[in-house]
Amino acid sequence: MERKFDKVVALAKARGFVFPSSEIYGGLGSINDYGPLGVELKNNIKKAWWDFMLSHRNIVGLDSGILMHPKIWEASGHVAGFSDPLVDCKKCKSRFRADHLLESLGIKPDFSPGSKIDMKKLACPECGGELTDIRQFNLMFKTFIGPVESEANQIYLRPETAQGIYVNFLNVKESMRLKVPFGIAQIGKAFRNEITPGNFIFRMREFEQMEMQYFVEEKESMQAFKDWRELRREWYLSLGMNEKNLRFREHESDELAHYAKAAIDIEYNFGFSENESFKELEGIHHRGTWDLSRHQEYSGQKLTVKDEENKDYLPTVVETSIGADRAFLAFMLEAYTEIEGGRSTTTESNKEKEVVLKLHPKLAPIKIAILPLSKKENLSAKAESVYAELSKHYRVQYDETGSIGKRYRRQDEIGTPYCLTVDFDTLENNKVTVRDRDTMKQDLVDIAELEAYFLEKFNF
Ligand code: ATP
């Protein structure tokens, strides 16, 4: 049976959500482009996250550069340690992440000095060939700043957005007259030269992150960690995610970074394979004072703030970090619904399977479709005037080709919450029929009242 995941990938391409990058040149490993509907959905996800974060009184936004001073990545530990264990097949030259390879064989990866795991005893999953020893491979993309391609001018494309927040911590605090606790939110591109990217947009080499670093006093930090866990859970549920598809996996003590007090992965049931169902979608991390203390040390600049007794201290950081692309995939999978036998009443579609993308209306790329029943001039003119009015407020699609049943199904497949038909009665009574995607309930609405009608529908 075809997996839901494969069906969503096919739909995403066919209906203009996601295209493989540079396709006419054979593609480029694990980079994807968002099509006309994809960019709308992704923007809506980003906006929902941004509005949620900025609705907290003590959270402000930031948009820092992709290119930053190279010392930042020394301070953050990325130059020394942002690497994955890599093995090659000596025969077919395929490359694998050793930890992923072990996990797929049901072996817990352990690369500590006393580990009994010997990669050479394993065979290449592609051709059965012998594997090399593990090498550490740094995931940061390098480039040069300025006209001279020398080591002194080497810089990195950021592998995460968080560091831009840490290095602007004091600028933000002082310019906005903020007092701890406060948070800084940022959305932006990140780049990782992943060894084994894949699973569509789940793991890409260029992707987008939505990160929020919350600066808090140590004594209040565990409470903040718990609060953010709950707030993030509520965010997913408010956008229509089913709780049973989310899992909050607390990190074991041996998984935690030495400076971290606690960490949770919010996992989603992506269903890539039977033994690989739940995978990380978001991380919530208690990072102690690690990041600020490192930047203080490497930059030589004081990054402390004053407590009630006027003593200097470094705030503790609780971060929430989610991939916009992974969220996109999770919301698509969550919304994808097949209805066997169909639910339309038109004869041609009676026995077919119908696909409905039950996206939350806030996320749906197209909010309203306008479907004139016929292409006759007077109907088109009426429908076009409705389009002109509604498109001032909503993303609206106008479709007059094909049978009405087919047009409804096209809209259901891309998740449009409301379809509005203009028929010959409209010319008499100035009323249109509005059909709800999920309930199929139809309302007859006066054109003069459409604005108020949709204002109520999209009031969230
Ligand atoms: P993973 O273990 O899956 O590689 P990670 O723990 O390295 O993820 P973080 O560094 O915590 O991920 O990044 C925060 C979020 O950014 C992740 O939860 C994920 O949603 C997203 N993300 C990370 N790497 C990628 C990638 N290569 N492609 C798409 N999204 C990513």
Residue 60: pLDDT band with limits 50, 70, 90 = very high
Q: Is the CB of 99 under 6 A from ligand 1?
A: no
Indicate whether 348 pLDDT > 60. Answer: no
Residue 350: pLDDT band with limits 50, 70, 90 = low
Percent helix / strand / coil, the chain, rounded to 5: 35, 30, 35
Indicate whether 120 pLDDT > 70. Answer: yes
Region 36-53: mean pLDDT is 98
Q: pLDDT tens, 70-111?
A: 999 999 999 998 888 899 998 888 888 998 888 888 888 888
Q: pLDDT tens, 171-220?
A: 999 999 999 999 999 999 999 999 887 899 999 999 999 999 999 999 99
Region 33-37: mean pLDDT is 98
Mean pLDDT of the chain: 94
Decide if 403 contacts 409 (C-beta within 8 A).
no
Q: Is the CB of 15 under 6 A from ligand 1?
A: no
Beta bridge partner(s), residue 188: 209
Q: Residue 321 to residues 50, 161, 300, 361: CA-CA distances in angstroms?
A: 13, 9, 28, 24
Q: Is the CB of 282 under 6 A from ligand 1?
A: yes
Residue 393: pLDDT band with limits 50, 70, 90 = very high
Q: Is the CB of 320 under 6 A from ligand 1?
A: no
How many residues does the structure list for the chain? 460
Q: Which domains does the chain have, with CATH numbers?
A: 4-68+145-332 (3.30.930.10), 83-138 (no CATH), 359-457 (3.40.50.800)
The more confidently predicted of residues 231 and 197 is 231
Structure tokens at 21: 């990058």
Q: What is the pTM of this model?
A: 0.93
Decide if 108 contacts 102 (C-beta within 8 A).
yes
Q: pLDDT tens, 276-323?
A: 799 999 999 999 999 999 999 999 999 999 999 999 999 999 999 999
151 Cα–ligand 1 center, Å: 28
Q: pLDDT tens, 130-170?
A: 998 888 899 999 999 999 999 899 999 999 999 999 999 99
432 Cα–ligand 1 center, Å: 46
Residue 351: pLDDT band with limits 50, 70, 90 = low
**Dihedral through CA 254, CA 259, CA 260, CA 261, nearest 10?**
90
